[in-house]
Structure 1
Amino acid sequence: MTIQTKNLSDLLWNAEKSRKGVSALTDMNPDLTVEEAYNIQLDTIQAKLEIGETISGKKIGLTSLAMQQLLGVNEPDYGHLLQSMEVKNGEVISRQQLLEPKVEGEIAFFLKKELAGPNVTVADVLDATEYVVAALEIVDSRIAGWKIKLCDTVADNASSGLYVLGDKKLPPHQLDLKEEKMSFYKNEQLINEGMGKAALGDPAYCVAWLANKLSEFGITLKANEVILSGAISAAVNAEEGDEFVAKFQTLGEVKVNFK
C-alpha cells in the first residue's frame, strides 16, 4: 500500500460515511492508473474487513457497450459486495443513507464451488452455480455528480451501493440466461426493458470474465458468494418515495422502495 492509495482510499470512505461526494480522483491525479485504482478499492475493502465487515460476493460493472464507450474502455470492471450491502426483497430503505443512487436490474449467480482463473469458461461458471436469481443493484458514487472516468469508478468499488436479491432460485440450466427478459418499473411505470444477453452477450460469460480478471490480483470467486453479473438495462435515478420493480420472464420479481 502506498501513501497515495491509502490517502485516496480514506478520501472515498470518508465521502461514503459523510454522504458528501468528492471531486474525481482523476482530476486530482491525472496519471492515476487502473492498477492503482484497483489497489485503492482493495485498500478500502481491507479496512472495512478489519472493522468486522464480511465479503458476500462480487459485482461486475460496465458490461454494456454504451457504458464502455462513455468511459472509453473495452472491458468491464468489478467491485466487492459486503454483507451489509444486502437489502431484503421488497424492503424499504432510506434515501438518506446514499449519495446519488441509481437502480438497475441484473441476474445474480450464487456459487456452490470456487472459480479460480485464469482459464474459467462459461461451462465452468454454469457447473459452479447453485442457482441464479433476479437482482437489483443500487449503484452509488462517492464522486460528486457521477463525474467519473474508469479509474474513478474502479477506485470507488465499481460505484457499488446496495443490492437486492429476488426470492425465486433456479438452477441455471432451467432457463435461457441470454434470452431471459426483464421489464423494469419505477413507480408502476415501465421505464425500460432488457435481456440477459445485454450483459456482454451472456451473463455467465461476465462471471467467467470476472474469475479470470481477479486471478491477476490473486483473488478467486468463492463458494457461497453471490455474483452480480451486470446491468441488462439502463440505470435509473432514485429519489425519496420511489419504488422500483424488476419483473423477469422466468425469475420472477424483485423490488425495493426508498423513503
Structure 2
Amino acid sequence: MRGNRVTGQPADALINRVADRLHEAHRTGVAVPPVRDEFPDADVASAYAVQRRNTERWVAEGRRRVGYKIGLTSAAVQRQLGVSEPDFGTLFADMAFADGAELDPGSFIAPRAEAEVALVLDRDLDLGRHTVADVIRATAFALPALEIVDSRIAGWDIALVDTVADNGSSGAFVLGTVPVPLTAVDLRSCAMTLTRHGETVSEGKGTDCLGHPLTAAVWLADTLGALGTPLRAGDIVLTGALGPMTGLDPLQSLTAHITGLGRVSVRTGK
C-alpha cells in the first residue's frame, strides 16, 4: 500500500492481546471498550495486524473467506474520523444471508444497515497497481447489497484504529440475486434509496462512494496486492456505502433499491 501504515511490523504481544479481546467479544456478543489506547500514535499498522490475526484464527476454526468489504468511503465519515482513505475487512461465507431473509437481531451487538454496490470477480486482480479498466475486466457482474455493520466496541465509540482492528466493523451482508454486467449500468450516477417499511431512511448515489464504486475497488485491489493477499476470482467486494447508515432493530423490513441494479431486502425477527 502506497504511503500508509498498513505494512508496519507491530509487536506480537500487543497484537495477540487485542486480537484475543475482540475475538472473545465476537464469540460472546459482549462488547468491549475501545482498543485505540493500546496503540500509540493511532498505529493503523497494528490495527490491521490485529485484524489479520483474527482472520487467520477464524479460517483455522473453519470459516471460509469469500471476499472483502470496503469502509470509510464517504468523505463526511473520513472527516469525522480524521482519515483520508478507506479501510477494509474480510467477508466470510457465514456472514452471507439470502435476499429477503430474516435476521436474528440478537446475533449482533449493535447492528446498523447500509446499501451499496457489490462486485463479483471472475479474474484475479494481482497486478500491483490497478486501473479502473483492470477492475472492469475482472468483474463478472454487479449486485445490489445490504451490509449489516456491527461493532464489538461498546456504544460504537470508534476511531479508525478501533474499526480496522474489529474487521472493519463487519457483521453480515445480503446480496441481490439478479447479476448485472458493468456494461449495463452506470455505477457513477446510480441512485440508492433505502426504505424501512416503505419509508425512506437513507439516500445516496454512486458518486458518494469515493466518487465512484470502481474507484473504491481499485483502492482495495492496490492495497491488498501490496499486502501480498490480492483479490482472487470468485471474491465478493462490497464497495462501500452509498448513503448514511440506519439502525437495525427487531421487527423491521429494509429494502434497498439501486437504479440499474434492482432491489435487495432483509427482515429482522423479534
- Is 1:146 the counterpart of 2:150? The answer is no
Aligned residues: 259
Counterpart for residue 230 of structure 1: 240
Same amino acid, percent of matched pairs: 37
- The superposition leaves residues 104-136 of structure 1 with CA deviations (integer Å, 9 ceiling, x where unpaired) of 000000000001253111110001000000000
1:175-225 deviation digits (Å, cap 9, x = unpaired): 101011111101221112111111001101110100101123111000001
Structure 1: tracts of 5 or more residues without a match: none
Distance (whole Å) between structure 1 residues aligned to residue 128 and residue 219 of structure 2: 9
User: Once structures 1 and 2 are overlaid, which stretch shifts more, 226-235 or 11-20?
Assistant: 11-20
- Match for residue 33 of structure 1? 43
Alignment of 1:71-110 (within 5 A): 71-110=81-120
Q: Which of residues 218, 222, 243 is equivalent to 2:253?
A: 243
Q: Please, which runs of 5 or more residues in structure 2 have no aligned partner?
A: 1-10
Say whether residues 1:214 and 2:224 are aligned partners.
yes
Given that 2:186 and 2:260 are in contact with CA atoms closer than 8 Å, whether structure 1 keeps it comes out as no
The CA deviation string for residues 51-86 of structure 1, in whole angstroms up to 9 with x for no partner, is: 111110001000000110110000000000000100
Q: Give the 5 Å matches for 1:1-259.
A: 2-259=12-269
CA contact (8 A) 2:184 2:260 kept: no
TM-score (norm: length of structure 1): 0.97
2:175 aligned partner, one-letter code: L
Does the CA-based 8 Å contact 1:118-1:215 persist in structure 2? yes
Shift of 1:30: 4.2
CA contact (8 A) 2:149 2:170 kept: yes
Contact 2:122–2:140 at 8 Å: present in 1 too?
yes
How far off is 1:17 after superposition?
1.3
RMSD: 1.1
Counterpart contact for 1:117–1:213, Cα < 8 Å:
no
Query: Is the Cα contact below 8 Å between 1:117 and 1:214 reproduced in 2?
Result: no
